[in-house]
Amino acid sequence: AMEQSHSTSVAGMVKLVLLEAKLIENLSSYADELERRLNILKRAVPQLQAESNKAISQMEEYVSNPINGFSLIRRMNQDWNDWMLFMEDPVGSSQVAYVSSQKSQLPTNVDLIEACIAIYRLQRFYNLTVKDVSTGMLNGKKYDVSLNALDTYVLGREHHKHHTVDLAGEWFAETNSWLMEHTLSTPIGADREKMLHFFASAFFDYKYYSIALSLFDHALVLGKKTGDPALLNRRRDIEKLAREEVLAKTEPKADATNYGRGCRGEFVGISNLYCVYKFGTSPFLLLAPIKMEIRLLNPFIIVFHDVLSPREIDELQKLARPLLERTTVVKFKKYEKDSRRTSKGTWIERDHNNLTKRIERRITDMVELDLRYSEPFQVMNYGLGGHYAAHEDFLGDTWADKKEEDDRIATVLFYLTDVEQGGATVFTILNQAVSPKRGTALFWYNLHRNGTGDTRTLHGGCPVLVGSKWIMTLWIRERMQLFTRPCLKETT
């Protein structure tokens, strides 16, 4: 199946919600078909039994009657063949075919691993315990959601396989307590005793013996098999290993970098320098002066407030939504998918339509740079734990497609949505954090006056904890700034 990176945008995951609803409807029709079939049997079997009981109770007498005799011969000749055909006829084959036809649309194992990594990232960045995640306690706010035993089991399993900080035990313990109290509405949950044995042996294989023992015991009691010698032997083996087991309790450690602190809102004592209104002679500025919040003078970082209207934003999202594709990063001069940047995005030409042209003019008013050779707009939507790890926007000398003196002099980053929790843009060296606010734009220079990259602009998009973060970026190129920014080049 084509990798669709389902978890990397909220817009993309909406498709899965719709597909799941159809699959459930399909499962319900499957149940209806089974029920119809069951109803036929429920009607027929008692009638067949009544006749058979009559025959059994007075066998010779029964068949001495020619009517009974004939009927028996005919039934045995014809009806049993029909029952066989009835039993052979697959139930719900059209529903099975539907599921099979949708299989390529379902998330793959890669999608699942990516989603696990997103959860671990959220734990690390926002200091969330396993219990927090599993019960929907996100950053001190309780949401009416929770994981089930299969969710926590998979999160433990992936930790066991891939992770250096081993939270597997915590996730497995959470799975255990879930299983003690609840039932699963999946095929594996249909037979509770079997399900407990399944998990017991899975945890045994992962060498989490105490958890295996607890589930095994639960299964014995449930199946009333506490006297079964073979099972008791098995129990003794597990118990022996469980007694020798040393369990280290690990909890996720909060990301201790400055970036992590910025994402958690721990930059303190750093307020905006000041706010000013930008007036001007252009039609837009005459009508509505822009509120500018100067964050830093060197390097220059500003936040422009209320520069896109809700209607403009709706239109941008409508335009971008069907075109979203997994974003990439440059690795060895090639663009590739990478867990350091998990979002979906699309490029929109600045002269695409009246709206984009209008926004382009507004940016010129705001930042007084010539946009002619700049890049198209990029509209992006982040997904589950979606982030963009710390990076610089300038191209430096490393990029194959960078032309002489045409680096990304500045970045304009529009926030198209508020984000309920997380998703700030953080400048890790400069101790600046900007929270997304619908309609606001962040602007900064990426280059020194002499045109080299200003490494102090290292920044990242923090993992989104709750919400759908949409942004639109414009990377302004250096070429054409000669007239608007004549002092750009220092003579060397």
Residue 463 Cβ vs ligand AKG, minimum distance, rounded to whole Å: 10
**Residue among 108, 106, 146 at smallest CA distance from 23:** 106
First to last CA, the chain: 55
Cis peptide preceding 299, ω within 30 of 0: yes
Q: Tokens standing for 247?
A: 């369990």
Q: Name the H helices within 58-162.
A: 59-64, 66-74, 80-88, 93-102, 109-126, 130-135, 149-162
Residue 432 is a binding residue for ligand AKG (CB under 6 A): no
Question: Which CB atom, from 181 or from 401, has the smaller least distance to Fe ion?
Answer: 401
Residues 6 or more apart in contact with residue 50 via CB below 8 angstroms: none
Question: Which C-beta is closer to ligand AKG: that of 31 or that of 270?
Answer: 270
**Closest CB to Fe ion belongs to which residue?**
393
CB of 413 to ligand AKG, least distance (A): 6
Nearer to ligand AKG, 348 or 471 (CB): 471
The residue (of 220 and 348) whose beta carbon lies closer to ligand AKG is 348
Nearer to ligand AKG, 215 or 430 (CB): 430
Specify whether the CB–CB gap between 432 and 301 falls below 8 A: yes
Identify whether the C-beta of residue 173 lies closer than 8 Å to the C-beta of residue 211. Answer: yes
By CB under 6 A, the residues from 355 to 414 that bind ligand AKG are 388, 393, 413
Between strands 329-331 and 441-445, the pairing is unpaired
Which residues would be at the binding site for Fe ion (CB under 5 A)? 393
Residue 362: its H or E element: helix 354-367
Complex with Fe ion: residue 171 or 444, whichever CB lies closer: 444
Which pairing describes strands 441-445 and 408-415: parallel, antiparallel, or unpaired? antiparallel
Min dist. Cβ of residue 288 to Fe ion (A) = 28
Q: Which does 151 bind (CB under 5 to 8 A by kind): Fe ion, ligand AKG, none?
A: none
Closest residue (Cβ) to ligand AKG? 461
Residue placing its CB nearer to ligand AKG in the complex, 30 or 470: 470
Residue closer to ligand AKG (CB basis): 252 or 461: 461
Nearer to ligand AKG (CB atom), residue 170 or residue 407 = 407
> What does 461 interact with, of Fe ion, ligand AKG, none (CB < 5 to 8 A by kind)?
ligand AKG
Could you tell me the smallest distance in angstroms from the CB atom of residue 111 to ligand AKG? 22
Q: Which is nearer to Fe ion, 178 or 388 (CB)?
A: 388
Q: How far is the CB of 409 from ligand AKG (least distance, A)?
A: 14
Residue selected from 218, 408, 459, 477 as contacting ligand AKG according to rule CB under 6 A: 459
Helix axes 229-244, 209-222, angle to 10 degrees: 150
Task: Select from ligand AKG, Fe ion, none the partner in contact with residue 203, using the beta carbon and a kind-dependent cut-off of 5 to 8 Å.
Answer: none
DSSP state of 6: G
**Of these, 419, 471, 474, 476, which contacts ligand AKG (CB under 6 A)?**
471
Contact in structure between 215 and 200 (CB atoms under 8 Å):
yes
Tell which residue, 90, 79, 107, 91, has the closest CA to residue 12: 107
Q: How many CB atoms lie within 10 A of CB 272?
A: 15
Which of ligand AKG, Fe ion, none lies near 425, with the C-beta cut-off 5 to 8 A by kind? ligand AKG
Binds ligand AKG (CB under 6 A): choice among 9, 317, 381, 425: 425
The entry of Fe ion, ligand AKG, none near residue 10 (CB within 5 to 8 angstroms by kind) is: none
Residue 459 CB, nearest approach to ligand AKG (Å): 6
Least distance from Fe ion to the Cβ atom of residue 280, Å? 27
Q: Which does 473 bind (CB under 5 to 8 A by kind): Fe ion, ligand AKG, none?
A: ligand AKG
* Mode of pairing for the β-strands spanning 408-415 and 421-422: unpaired
Please, which residue, 202 or 441, has the CB nearer to Fe ion?
Answer: 441
Backbone angles phi, psi at 450, to 5 degrees: -90, 5
192 Cβ contact list (under 8 Å, min separation 6): 183, 222
Q: How many residues bind to ligand AKG according to rule CB under 6 A?
A: 8
CB 302 to Fe ion: min, Å:
16
Q: What region, left, alpha or beta, does residue 443 occupy, with left being phi > 0 and alpha being psi -120 to 50 degrees?
A: beta
Q: In Å, how far are 61, 83, 120, 167, 420 from 132, measured between CA atoms?
A: 75, 55, 12, 13, 17
- Choice from 407, 461, 463, 472 touching ligand AKG (CB under 6 A): 461
Shortest distance, position 341 Cβ to ligand AKG, whole Å: 8
Residues of span 159-178 touching ligand AKG by CB under 6 A: none
**Residue 123 Cβ vs Fe ion, minimum distance, rounded to whole Å:** 24
Half-sphere exposure at residue 170, Cβ-oriented, CA atoms within 13 angstroms? 19
Report the SS3 class of residue 191.
Answer: coil
Among 473, 480, 485, 488, binds ligand AKG (CB under 6 A): 473
Contact by Cβ (8 Å): 119, 385:
yes
CA 394 to chain CA centroid, nearest Å: 29
Binding site for ligand AKG (CB under 6 A): 388, 393, 413, 425, 459, 461, 471, 473
